[in-house]
Amino acid sequence: MIIKGIIFDYGFTLFFFENPSLERYTECFKKGLLKSIKLLKEKQVWSGRISDELFVKEFFKKRQRFWREGIKTKIEFPTSFIYQEVLESLEKDNLVNNIDHIDEDTYENLAEIYHSFEREEWKPFPKTKETLEELSKHKHIKLAVLSNHPHHKTIENSLKEYNLFEYFDAVVTSAEFGKRKPDPEIFLYTLKKMELSENYDCLVCGDEYVDVVGGDRAGMQTILCERIYKFPFEREINVPNLLRINDISEVLNYIT
């Protein structure tokens, strides 16, 4: 089979987060959230009637609620949307002012600040760049990143920061598409953005259930990139013809 495209997952496939734990993620998000308050103060949204702690508590409560809903429905609720929801409910309780001062760009900026500390933690695996460089020599192979992430620019900026963005014909996130992996629609949308019509010409490479099950549902050959870290509540993967690799560079064994 001549491979015409590869769809890579981002987290723990192309990039890693050292010593990941719920506590470390939460710490990054809390730092980002507190930093974003500065922008709310600049926009004169902040009032003396709300504390940083209450804002953090309300935000995490909403984030958690929509995260659960997203798992159930496969709908992505972007971080900018969560900010909007939180501020609207705080305004109803008369705890913030003037939320109409916040336009779409500002919601985007808030989301970017929220994810900024998380982004610093994600680093490419040692062999990510050389693997992409090698793949780029095969002119007939198109490459894409497909990530379940609630803020599109965070993924793009991370790829740009490490000079990897140029290797990809498409970068798709659930924030941009509106639905999350394993929904097969997001895989088909990625194929379209890669300008590939035949799904059986394309490989999907990722570290999670959502990558390989979603890729399989969309009719593609899947490769599980096995992680050193195990996550809590991992689902058993039962996909026919699943290929398994331990390092991103091994993907080179499956192309011609």
Q: 139 in helix, strand or coil?
A: coil
Least Å distance, CB 237 to Mg ion, is 13
Strand order across the beta sheet in which 142-147 lies: 170-173, 142-147, 5-8, 202-206, 221-225, 243-245
Residue 16 or 83: the one with the smaller Cβ distance to Mg ion is 16
Q: Which residue is nearest to Mg ion (CB)?
A: 11
Residue 11 or 32: the one with the smaller Cβ distance to Mg ion is 11
Least Å distance, CB 123 to Mg ion, is 14
Residue 113 or 205: the one with the smaller Cβ distance to Mg ion is 205
Least Å distance, CB 80 to Mg ion, is 22
Of 237, 236, 235, 201, nearest in space to 218 by CA: 201
Least Å distance, CB 10 to Mg ion, is 6
Of 218, 185, 212, nearest in space to 12 by CA: 212
Residue 80 or 174: the one with the smaller Cβ distance to Mg ion is 174
Residue 107 or 209: the one with the smaller Cβ distance to Mg ion is 209
Residues found near Mg ion in the complex (CB under 5 A): 9, 11-12, 207-208
The Cα 130–Cα 167 span in angstroms is: 11
The Cα 195–Cα 98 span in angstroms is: 44
Question: Tokens standing for 193?
Answer: 């953005």
The Cα 184–Cα 178 span in angstroms is: 13
Least Å distance, CB 12 to Mg ion, is 4
